[in-house]
Structure 1
Amino acid sequence: MARIKLPPTIRQRRLGAELRRLREQAELNATQAGVLLGSSQSRVSSIESGGYAVSADRVRAMARAYGCADQALTEALAEMTGGRTRGWWDEYRDILPPSMLDMAELEHHARAMRIACVIHLPGLLQTRDHARAIISAVEPPLAPHEVEHRVSYRIKRQAILYGEQPTPLTAIIHEAALHMDFGGPGVARAQLEHLLSMSEQEHITVLVIPFGSGAFPSSGQAIVHLGGPVPHLDTVELDTDHGSEFLDTRPQLTRYRSTLNRMEALALESAASRDMIHHIAQGI
């Protein structure tokens, strides 16, 4: 039986995209790059599309041929090689949309994360019941078993916040999200209590933007900034109505870093944020 070839992961696609950017900065086309590397135009193009697994040494050779003087970036790209690494999220490959699997892979490799939410709480900080209430309300409606698949998937993603080396997380949450009451009073109260408990972890910072803080540069969609091994390899994810949108060009990264900085500047300090969350929970 022929072996089914799996599509390239988002990590492989990002590596290919970065190698293409280095080539274009060197003002080389794929044919010229192939000559420099003792390869072919088709092989260079396949590497850049993420369809061909490339070794760390080959990545270093390509960066050198393209005149990349950023050694930290070169080594970070070399670390992204090694073929297709299967993660726990692959169990859901025939069940969930590819962008959801991409998000889990990005979170798995992120060095740190910063999230800004206006209406919904971050998925990484949601309780099972809160997640179920949110997922059950999507359009078009999901079948009960589909809801449970997505709930279990969301909860499994939270594993990055536990263990010996948990991922540092800063969550910037607008006060509006704390009042949404998804799932009813019992679920909402338990969710806020869980948020308080998580905010007490050393690696998790929860900051609340209170009503009346003024305008900030956001359309209301969740913004997730995933830190890479070097800033150049950061990724931004926008949680849109039609699914995840991933951004990784320098202008895009600069824009959303600035947006997050401005939102964070409007937020209360950690202690005051916890006091507000506690007060709202008590009032439910």
Structure 2
Amino acid sequence: MTLSDLDVARRLADAAGEVILPYFRNATTATDNKLEGGFDPVTVADRAAERTMRDLLAKLRPEDGILGEEFDPKPGTSGRTWVLDPIDGTRGFISGTPTWGVLIALSEDAGPILGIIDQPYIGERFEGTRAHAQLRGPQGTRRLATRKTASLDEAILFTTFPEVGTEADRTAFQRVAREVKLTRYGMDCYAYALLAAGTVDLVIEAGLNAYDIQGPIAVIEAAGGIVTNWEGGPAHDGGRALAAANPDIHAAALALLQED
């Protein structure tokens, strides 16, 4: 039986979760720091989960490329690339918060065509393709749909770090934050999942890599939302991202980000 791309992505998420969960909230889990002069943690769980997904792709989609956080890119011959972040939110992972996730995307030249945000500890999986937007979790399975909030003064905004990007980036972010109803911090990829699920309106971040954003882009777009960079262009290569629930709230936030 030939597996669909979505079935392959689900198998990747299942396999990654099985590898990761024994390390979560485990005091013996080893953590290394990848950033000299700062703190960018990576655990044995990150590396083991990505290796497991790569091994599975070698069997199921050997012609496709792979771009992952922990190991070198693997070129493919199909023109398609699987984009993997085995644990997005490693700081949350090592702190014991269930706000990290496994990010999986299948990407073509124009960007991702499929994405999964998977939180195996609480059993939530957010899926998006061009024809499918679904949340499966403890409360059952339902279609994902973003909110219709049109005004910033009714919007809920998320970002992972209060110190968003550069000083200029922080100034731009604060212009938006001053106008919204509520600003929250620290959710990593789970904030994008909540946007797709229709509980928040905006996620604004800077300093992203492709593997941080491609899975969320596919999920959010499938649910009816919009993800661009701060100039209104494609965001799938990383950098500064504005994820919004609908065109109205996106336009309002983008205008403030672009003010001089």
What TM-score results when the alignment is normalised by the length of structure 1? Answer: 0.30
By percentage of residues, which structure has more strand? 2
By percentage of residues, which structure has more helix? 1
What TM-score results when the alignment is normalised by the length of structure 2? Answer: 0.32
